């Protein structure tokens, strides 16, 4: 796996580490959990996405700012 070392500031003051084309959704987007996995720790029940989101196996996630969130599920 290639490590991403460059962090680019965005207009919102947060950071993005994505160099994918097309670019992954930002942590503030409704589809933020569809970003590429950069660190897979599925044996521990979580993974880190390239937008800084920590995604847990139970559907919860943490934003890069540390806010806990739940995946939005369609009815």
Tens of pLDDT, residue by residue over 28-44, are: 999 999 999 999 999 99
pLDDT digits (tens, 9 = 90+) for 10-22: 444 445 567 888 8
Q: In this model, does residue 66 exceed pLDDT 80? A: yes
**Distances in whole angstroms, Cα of residue 25 to Cα of each of 18, 47, 61, 75:** 9, 16, 15, 23
| pLDDT for the residue numbered 73 | 65
pTM of the full structure: 0.72
- Domain-wise residue ranges, the chain: 8-70
């Amino acid at each position: 796996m290639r490590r991403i070392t460059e962090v680019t500031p965005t207009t919102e003051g947060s950071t993005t580490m994505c160099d994918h084309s097309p670019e992954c959704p930002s942590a503030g987007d409704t589809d933020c959990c569809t970003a590429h996995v950069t660190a897979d720790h599925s044996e521990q029940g979580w993974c880190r996405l390239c937008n800084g989101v920590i995604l847990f196996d139970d559907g919860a996630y943490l934003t890069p700012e540390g806010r806990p969130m739940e995946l939005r599920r369609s009815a």
